[in-house]
Structure 1
Amino acid sequence: MAKRPLLPIPDAINPFRVKKQRLMNFNPVTATTSRKPVDHVKITVFEYDENHVKEEVMPDAQSCIRFNGTNAVKWINVDGVRREDVEIICNNFNIHPLLMEDILSEGQRAKMDEIREHLFCLLPMVYFRAESATVEIEQVSMILGKNIVISFQDDPDKDVFNPVREKIRTGGTKLRNKGADYLLYTLLDTIVDNYFVVMDNLGERIEILEEIIPRQPNNRTLARINFLRKEMLLFKRSIAPVRELMNGLMKSENNWLKEDTEKYFKDVYDHIVQANDLAESYRDLVMNLQELYHVQMNQKMNEVMKVLAIVTTLLAPLTVITGIYGMNFDVMPELRSPYGYFIVLGVMLFIFVSMIFVFRKRGWF
């Protein structure tokens, strides 16, 4: 059976160092943001109904204004959050300034809100980077209005919405026949389903560690366990509030949420409950890995002490004999015997072999 590969841990990452830049700060909505400047913003617009679909890449945020008020379902997706673009879109679609501040903030826990006629959702989009075995979090904001969904995300390369785009491009799908509330459900469902993909990767790392620990119970293995524990904690803290978000959506009486869509949000709620339970189970497994590591280290230490004890016990009688004949007395009959040296060696060898035989018969080693 081939050995499974070791967990990749880059030299640039110190598993024992707290990565403060990746911790969730839970900033208040009115906090001053320190968002890094964005060089490039990509704005994609899907406008569709059951018979037609139109996909455009907008040159700037101002170009999205013409989609305000049309009857077809619109999805405006903004990759790269920049204040001036967010302000243009929010002002022209009559989005409340508090929601705009939520979009521009960083490190918030998942939440939903209703201001004016808009329904707002903020939640984490989670990825697993296999090269470094790390969990990466991207904040996604979505606004539901009349026949429109506007979404904001930071990085276009970290996107799980491609299946949604394919459904929009394909005619005859349920997504094409439904309204904007069903589009919001589909986006939320895609994000939550990707949580399970990340957990599958984390679960695979846990299985690999379970095989490594008995073979290599060393400091590097302990570093891998601690590193995986921190990634699991980051993941669990990120997705836990999404349950409250989905619960709020199911209880919402927003005008743009149709009654027949409620059962779909209930399905996403069931998925996030399952994801939270599975994340809790994985966290317990990682804690069990730490206990397994300590058990293996204790067992290894016991084996070493056992060998040292046996060696000490075997040499103890020989040390007594050599000590006796090392005394500087003039009257010792054996010292004058021509065969005394060989007789003493034979007695020592006999005692040594006899003790080994007795120990093995008792099953001590």
Structure 2
Amino acid sequence: MANKKILPIPQVLDVLNPFKVKKQRMMNYNPAVPTAMRTPVAESRITVFNYSPKSLEEKTLTSVAETYPYMVSENITWINVDGIKKEEVHAIASCFMIHPLLEEDIISVGQRAKMDEIGEQLFCLLPMMYYNAESSAIEQEQVSIVLGKNYVISFQDDPTRDLFDPIREKLRIASSRIRNGSSDYLCYSLIDIIVDNYFVVLDKLGERIELMEDLVQHYPNTKTMARINFLRREVLLFKRSIVPVRELVNGFMKSESDVLEDRDTKYFKDVFDHIVQCTELAETYREMVLNLQEMYHTQLNLKLNEIMKVLAVVTTLMAPLTLLAGIYGMNFDNMPEIHTKNGYFITLGAMGFMLLFMIWLFRKRGWF
């Protein structure tokens, strides 16, 4: 959060306007409903990296059928599908003998992050998180990864966004660790870059929380409270999405599958440490947002107390003057002071003296 740019308060009000955000629920999957399927995308993109320490083949495929030869390739193959189409997923699943239950998980939406081991394949599903600067909201897409002996198949929801470019750049370098590693190291790299991006989203949430602290101090009104509630929901949804990832990574660490090499276990342990740290930080931010709500109510009470204090002082100052005005406003003929020549000015002077004396007394006692 260092070197962050602090926006002026009026600009912050526009940036954090939750009423401009139209956002789908992030956790709307009901496993009891078999029709909880995604809407097919108009166009998908399939890319392949087939590599070994001495060779690299990088292609963008035009059809699913072009992935079939890689089933028997001796090199490591990474097939990445951007944009989910049911017929394409079914074709790939049939070719690589992916279990129908895993195929259904890939097509379904809004699922909880998990890891499964079926036969000689390991499967994991986890959210890839993004921060939308325009709406100040957190967005996510579901990423499914199938790990086999010499291949990794990844499925992404959104063909327009991708975090895997750094991995592609490393694959193009012959001396890189990932280029000389096995398929499980590639799977680790994909999970690791997704988890690392969680910290980027958390940094944005931290900036918003700090900006909200300024708003609460300067603008403790109903709009500010609405923004706090919006921020609280974002933090809760973020935490709810990433907490199961810890179990997912732990599943890789405990798995005894032949697909995983013992030397790569330490890398999954490193990811486990990162996701634990990320979860703890998300919990800290949740508590900070709750403190923001308490701060808002405190500021509101202080503001109300200041208003009541001013009204009480004004009422106290005017009470003696009202008493004098009421006494001499009575409609009686037999009043000694009513026929005094300068009685009007004397009464006004007495009232002014009483007012000044009370102001001096209140200030001396520190009442205002």
Structure 1 and Structure 2 fold alike (TM over 0.5)? yes
The corresponding residue for 1:12 is 20
Q: Deviations over 1:217-250 (max 9, x none)?
A: 1111111101100111110000010001011110
1:155 alignment partner, one of 155, 158, 174: 158
Q: Does 1:56 align with 2:59?
A: yes
Is residue 240 of structure 1 aligned with residue 248 of structure 2? no
Q: Which residue of 1 aligns with 2:130?
A: 127
Residue type of the alignment partner of 2:48: V
**Larger mean Cα displacement after TM superposition, 30-39 or 246-255:** 30-39
Aligned residue runs from structure 1 range 283-362, under 5 A: 283-362=286-365
Q: Distance in 2 between the 1:54 and 1:95 partners? A: 24
Partner amino acid, structure 2, of 1:9: N
Distance in 2 of aligned mates of 1:33 and 1:8? 32
Q: Which amino acid aligns with 1:241?
A: P
| Cα distance change on mapping 1:30 and 1:73 into 2, 3 Å | farther
Please name the residue that 2:8 is paired with. 3
**Deviation of residue 10 (structure 1)?**
5.7
Q: Is the 8 A contact 1:29 1:102 kept in 2?
A: no
1:194-235 alpha-carbon deviations (Å, 9 max, x no partner): 000000000000000111111111111111101100111110
Displacement after TM superposition at 1:312 (Å) = 0.2
* 2: CA distance, partners of 1:285 / 1:104: 37
Mapped to 1, the partners of 2:32 and 2:121 lie a distance apart of 17
Give the secondary structure class of the aligned counterpart of 2:125.
strand
Instruction: Kindly indicate whether the alpha-carbon contact (under 8 Å) linking 2:195 and 2:274 is maintained by their aligned counterparts in 1.
Output: yes
Q: State whether residues 130 and 140 of structure 2, in contact with CA within 8 Å, keep that contact through their aligned partners in structure 1.
A: yes
- Residue type at the aligned position of 2:8: K
- Say if 1:314 and 1:355, in contact at 8 Å, map to a contact too: yes
Residue 27 (structure 1) aligns with: 30
In structure 1, stretches of 5+ residues that fail to align are: none
Do the aligned partners of 2:76 and 2:150 also contact (CA within 8 Å) in 1?
yes
Contact 2:26 2:140 in 1 (8 A): no
2:46 paired residue among 43, 46, 50: 43
**Counterpart residue number, 2:224:** 221
Q: Which moved more, 1:153-162 or 1:314-323?
A: 153-162
Q: Secondary structure at the match of 1:137?
A: strand
Q: Within 1, Cα distance between the matches of 2:57 and 2:18? A: 44
Q: Deviation of residue 162 (structure 1)?
A: 1.1
Please tell me whether the aligned partners of residues 90 and 100 of structure 1 are also in contact (alpha carbons under 8 angstroms). yes
Mapped partners of 1:61, 1:2: distance in 2: 49
Pick closer, same or farther for the CA change 1:364–1:128 going to 2, 3 Å.
same
Q: Which amino acid aligns with 1:8?
A: L
CA contact (8 A) 1:107 1:139 kept: yes
**1:255 aligns to 2:258 (yes or no):** yes
In structure 2, what is the Cα distance between the partners aligned to 1:208 and 1:66? 54
Q: Give the AA of the match of 1:3.
A: P
For residues 218 and 30 of structure 1, do their structure 2 counterparts lie closer, same or farther at Cα, with a shift above 3 Å needed? Answer: closer
Whichever residue aligns with residue 347 of structure 1, its letter is: A
Structure 1 residues 347 and 279: alpha-carbon distance in aligned structure 2, compared to 1, 3 A threshold: same
Paired residue secondary structure (1:253): coil
Match of 2:272 in 1: 269
Any idea what the Cα deviations from partners look like across 1:277-335, whole Å, max 9, x if unmatched?
A: 00000000000000000000000000000000000000000000000011111111111
Q: Where in structure 2 are the equivalents of 1:83-232 lying within 5 Å? A: 83-232=86-235
SS where residue 157 of structure 1 aligns? coil
Per-residue deviation, 1:26 = 4.0
Any conservation in 1 of the 2:20–2:135 contact (CA below 8 Å)?
A: no
Contact 2:116 2:122 in 1 (8 A): yes
- What SS does the corresponding residue of 2:72 show, helix, strand or coil? coil
Deviations 1:82-134 (A, max 9, x none): 11000100000111111101101111100000111110000010100011110
SS in 2 for 1:174: coil
Greater Cα shift, 49-58 or 39-48: 49-58
Matched position secondary structure for 2:179: helix
Query: Aligned AA for 2:149?
Result: K
Q: Identity of paired residues, percent?
A: 57
Normalised by the length of structure 2, the TM-score is 0.95
**CA shift at 1:11, angstroms?**
4.4
Distance across 2 between alignment mates of 1:51 and 1:169: 11
Letter in 1 for 2:145: M
Give the TM-score, by structure 1 length.
0.96
Q: 1:29 to 1:113 in 2, by over 3 A?
A: farther
Displacement of 1:158 in angstroms is 2.2
Q: Which amino acid aligns with 1:87?
A: H
| One-letter amino acid of the counterpart of residue 235, structure 1 | F
Q: CA deviation at 1:146?
A: 1.5
Change in CA separation of 1:151 and 1:190 when aligned onto 2, cut-off 3 Å: same
